[in-house]
Each structure stands twice: as structure tokens, then as C-alpha cells.
A and B are shown apart, each in its own frame.
Chain A
């Protein structure tokens, strides 16, 4: 009798220790998270200037690249405008556009502009109008590397293309040496990492390689990685984790992942007076250099990847909100306009850079705002 009671107690104690240590672990985890992706201190000020629309339940889904920005915007908007529920599901751009075209969401977030056949389909959902692209969140795609003892690595578009296409396989290749005359480059092999899932990040990164080094990047581009060799990992977090733990690795992901894991990033030699580092400002400069190629109310942008503008970081992605120009659902129209207006406003865009995003340059932001006010 005594014996069994003792063992019961002991196992209880073991269980208690296990549970409490699990609690401690989760507590650490959540601390780290809030530390790395907390919104800027200005969020409470921003809330004061939000013009609320009528109360509604807004459903939206799409780009995972926008997730962190959306989280902050949704939180601020819902704090300022009680009664409005906004639910942005980061399901991926493809799923977001599909759901929007089925009419189940008020707007979609997408890493790429609507394709022609998607515009045609959108006419069924947007009575009397069509789906349009509103550039909203931009950001630099950082090229992170893991080379102990090498800081300030500089690469250019042809070299990057050759590295990711396995034409350059050693870190002490003459092409890299030429760009980094003072660095002590090891003779180890390059472990190039790409995304194993389809993603807008891959799409934009390869668009850059194609746009700036067409002769060294023979692939057509798209959300799926096309080059043969190299290693892969799922999601930006997976690629960042592999780069972090593998000596000799190089990979691409949004800047916030590099900042969160302290991964050094490559400076790009664009032909400008100095190599450009991946920063929010440099990405904003790149977006300012873009041309609007959307027709009518559509504001789809085309980036000039071969830019030589000083301080413009060329590997930049622009993500869009997709809504109807005419024929939005009447019960959510007002709230959609109010929310989009807020996120395109100076207050909405201001907080972005602390999370590795790039605020829209003034000229494009003005266009986006006037487009939003004319949505119907």
C-alpha cells in the first residue's frame, strides 16, 4: 500500500516537472516572437487617426508575405473601430485569389498582379467592374549567407544567377573574388537554398535574376523554382533556418527573417556608385523607380530590375490588395474602403519598416489612395 502510493506521488512529480518545463519553454517561445515582430511604438498614435467605415465583418485572405503587416493593421483598425471584425487568413496568394474570384472574400492579398484570365473571371464577381491590383506592401528580398569570417559580401546579378544555377559552385570563384577583393573567401562549396514550396518570393527573386541577368538565368520564372540543382526547404522560415545552420549556405527570404535570425545579407552591386544593402529605404527607392503597367483602374507595377539608381535595392517585391473597382459587395464596401484607406495612409505605411517591409513611395501611395476612394 505504502509502496504504490509512493510511486504514484513520484510519477505525479515527474509529470508536474514535465508540464512546468513545457510551460517555461512556451513562455520563452512567445517572448522571442513578440520581441522579433512587435509593431512599432507608434501604433497607438496611428489608431487615433483611423477613419472608421460602417460596421461589418471583413473576410480577406492571401499572401503570406503580407501577414505581419496585416496583423498590425487589423489590430489597430479593430481597436479604433469597435464593431468591425477583420479576418485576414494568410493562405497563400494563389488560394487568396481563388477565394476572391469565388466571391467569398472582400479583398485578396497577392504577391503577383492578376493574370488576364483571372481578370476575366473577376467580372463575374464584380458586377459591372473587374478586379484591380492596388500595390500596398513592398519589401526587400534579402539574400542571406553563412560564411564565418566574411562580412559585407558583395554580389551582382550575373554572379547570383550563376550561383543559384550551379554555374559557380565554390566560394573562392574568381567572379566572387573580383567583387570582394578584400574578403578571405574559403574554398568550400556553395550550398544554395531555394524554396521547395511555390511562392511569390521565388517568383519575385527569379524575376529579378531574369530581369537583371537574362543571359545567366535561362528559366522562364514563376512561383515554382526551376533550376535543377541546389537544395530546398519549405517556407522562408525553413530556408532561413537552413542558411543559419549550414556553413557555406546562401538563400533568399524576406528581410524580416534575416533580421530575426541575425543572418548577414548580401549587398548588391547594381552598377550604382556603391553596392546596395537590403533595407526598407532602399526597397522604397526601388518601388519609386517602378512604372505603372496596369490599365484603367489597375495599378499593377513593373519594377526596373536593371536599375542603376543610387541606393535602390533591386531584389524587391511588391504585393497587392485585390478588390473590385466597381461591384464590391454593398454590405462590406464601406468597411473595405475605410480599411484599405487606413493601410494606404501615411500612418498605416509608417510602421512597416520596423518589420522589414518597405513603405510605398509618396507618389504611388497618392495614386493608390485616390483609387481606393473611387471604389464602388
Chain B
């Protein structure tokens, strides 16, 4: 009896001190230790990045935030993150624009539309996609996706080049652009967003849906009125997980993107770069100082990721009233 009372989420107020057994103490120690370990690791990463980064940035001969080129091995060294920050954000943004609606669609289909016999193999397939290593995506992207996107590129260039962003400076150049990278990243993050969204959709209280049905709602109206509002913060969490992978993706981007220090609004031009891609490309041949410089760029990526996650937390906190799942 006692155990049931004390282990409940909201124990009733009682004067009697709670019974603790050795197992409780061990478990408390373990879970507190894990929590502290996480904080220590985060702090260690932040301190390491900051110390090495400050050293490099202080010796940078040009403005770290506005310079396009990355020439850390020159004397005097001159490097900056403008192109990298732009490329990272833009490619991830393209990925999110494509991946979030598709993933939510897949997750809704699996949980609310598909017949059970189809739903579980489909869910299994999506899980499988999440397990493919990024270098495999990179190879597939470079060898298959790039040549096959050329047609789409030309089409966009012909009909949408008035928008500016879909104007391709040299139509005969290969589709090794931020646009292609965005599409590849989208494919890579779809399984993550789908999986998490699916779990959230599963947790929508049956009573909400049945209530909507009882009021005469169609299936689409049920999804719109009871499923989506309940799952909104969960979808945002899922998207943030996906965005995290997109921001930090390395090998797939390094294989597909034709990197160069040019900041172009034209998404189809084979130019640009991302933080992770630049680190992968420059790390092997970098000397000590060059590595510090790359670490400085890593710190910026770290900060961008923190900011994005913080923003997501804020949004979720605001919508807390709907969510029982991810509060």
C-alpha cells in the first residue's frame, strides 16, 4: 500500500517520512548522476570550443563574421563564416520546407488513414530509412540525385528564373547546389520527423477523436480539430530534431555540394558551403592553428543550434495547454 502511495506522481500530503530502500537511493544517485554528467559534457564542449575559438579569432586578419573566404593556412590567416552560416541556414531551411509537411503527412497516414496491414510495414520502412548512414545518402545523392535533378533545375530556371532565387547562372553546370543539398537533407530528416510525429499522433486521447466524430466531424475534420492541435508541440519538437540533423549533416553535404566561397541568392548555382562540410573538407590538412579556426566555426554552429532549440522550447512552452505528450 505504502509503495503505491509514495511512487504515484502526486503523492498525497502525509506527515509520515517516505520509506526509502537501498534501490531508491541507488536509482536516485544514478539518475542525478546522469543529469549532472550531461551538464558537465555540455559545459566541457562549450569551454573547449570557446577557448580554442577565441585564440583563432583573435589572430584572424579579417572580420570573422563577414568574410567569405576560408584561408586559415595563409600568413596572415584570413577566414570568415558568412558563406558557411548562410549555406547552413538556407540548406536546412529548404530541407524543413520540404520535409515537415511530407513527414506529418506520412505520420498521419500511418496512424489515421492506412489499413493496419499497410501501416506497420510502412512504419518499419520509415524506421529503416532513419538507419541508413549519411555517407550512403551522400553517395546516392552524388551519383544519382545530382544528374537526375538537372531536368528539374532547367525547368525551374526556365519558368521561375524571374524570382531571382531560381535563376541559374550557367545552365550547363551540374546540380551540385544548395538546392540539391536541401532536397537530400529533406530525404534524410523525413524519417526522424515522421517517427516522432507518429508517436505523438498515437497519443492523442481517443476521447478527443471520438468526441469530434460524435459531433459529426469527417475524418479530415477530426485530424484538424483534435489531432493536430494536440500534437502541435510534438510536431515542433520532431521538426527540431530533424533540423538539428540537417544543420550538422556533414558527409552527405560534402559529397554533393560544389563548395566555393561565394554567397549567392541563386539557389541553383553550384556555390556555397556549410559549417560541417567546411570542417570535413579542411580538417585533414589543417595545422594546429587551422584546426582552432575550424573549431571557431564549430562554435558558431553550436550557438546557432542552441538558439534554434531555445526558440523551439519557447514555442512549445506557449502551447503547453494543448499538449499532454511533450510538456
Interface residues of A (CB under 8 A from B): 64, 91-95, 97-98, 188-189, 191, 196-200, 220, 222-226, 228-234, 238, 241-242, 245-246, 248
Contacts and interface: CB of A to CB of B under 8 A. Distances in A.
Nearest to A169: B170
A132 B258 CA distance: 37
B252 to A, nearest CB: 12
B254 interface: yes
20 contacts: A92-B284, A93-B285, A94-B73, A94-B285, A95-B285, A189-B170, A191-B172, A191-B173, A196-B258, A196-B277, A197-B282, A224-B282, A229-B260, A230-B260, A231-B174, A231-B258, A232-B258, A234-B255, A241-B142, A242-B174
A228 B71 CA distance: 13
B281 to A, nearest CB: 4
B141 interface: no
Given A224-B71, A232-B259, A97 B284 contact: no
Contact of B71 (A93, A222, A248): A222
Contact of A198 (B147, B173, B174, B285): B285
A222 B74 contact: yes
A299 B285 CA distance: 22
With most chain B CB atoms within 10 A of its CB, the pick from A94, A220, A242, A245 is: A94
Contacts of A238: 255
A197 B285 contact: yes
Contacts of A224: 70-74, 282
A196 B71 contact: no
Interface residues of B, number: 32
A118 to B, nearest CB: 8
B176 A94 contact: no
B9 to A, nearest CB: 42
B98 interface: no
Given A233-B258, A245-B147, A98 B288 contact: yes
6 shortest A-B CB distances, which residue pairs? A92-B284, A198-B285, A197-B281, A231-B258, A94-B285, A196-B259
A238 to B, nearest CB: 8
Contacts of A234: 254-255, 280-281
A191 B288 CA distance: 34
A56 B270 CA distance: 49
Contacts of B93: none
B287 interface: yes
A242 B270 CA distance: 13
A130 to B, nearest CB: 18
A199 B174 contact: no
B262 A229 contact: yes
A20 to B, nearest CB: 20
A199 B281 CA distance: 9
With most chain A CB atoms within 10 A of its CB, the pick from B69, B255, B259, B280 is: B259
A198 B172 contact: no
Contacts of B259: 196, 232
Contact of A189 (B172, B254, B262, B284): B172
A186 to B, nearest CB: 11
B281 A231 contact: no
Interface string B156-183: 0000000000000010111010000000
A245 B144 CA distance: 12
B174 A246 contact: yes
Given A224-B73, A245-B147, A231 B176 contact: yes
B315 to A, nearest CB: 36
B286 interface: yes
With most chain B CB atoms within 10 A of its CB, the pick from A188, A220, A231 is: A231
B242 interface: no
Interface string B61-84: 000000001111110000000000
Interface in B244-277: 254-255, 257-262, 270, 277
A97 B284 CA distance: 11
Contacts of A230: 260
Contacts of B71: 222, 224, 226
Contacts of B173: 189, 191, 231
A228 B170 CA distance: 15
B153 to A, nearest CB: 14
Given A94-B287, A222-B71, A229-B260, A191 B174 contact: yes
With most chain B CB atoms within 10 A of its CB, the pick from A188, A198, A220, A226 is: A198
Nearest to B176: A231
B285 A92 contact: yes
Contacts of B287: 94, 97-98
Contact of A231 (B73, B270, B286): B270
B145 to A, nearest CB: 13
B298 interface: no
Contacts of A228: 260-262
Contacts of A199: 285
B284 A94 contact: yes
Interface in B98-129: none
Given A196-B258, A198-B285, A241-B142, 14 more contacts: A94-B286, A94-B290, A189-B170, A196-B259, A196-B281, A197-B281, A197-B284, A198-B284, A223-B285, A224-B71, A225-B260, A228-B260, A228-B262, A233-B258
Contacts of B73: 94, 198, 222-224
Nearest to B261: A228
Interface string B279-313: 01110111110100000000000000000000000
B241 to A, nearest CB: 27
A189 B173 CA distance: 9
B69 A226 contact: yes
B295 to A, nearest CB: 14
A22 B6 CA distance: 56
Contact of B172 (A64, A188, A241): A188
A198 B70 CA distance: 10
A119 to B, nearest CB: 14
Nearest to B174: A246
A275 to B, nearest CB: 28
B171 to A, nearest CB: 9
A234 to B, nearest CB: 5
B251 to A, nearest CB: 10
Contacts of A225: 260
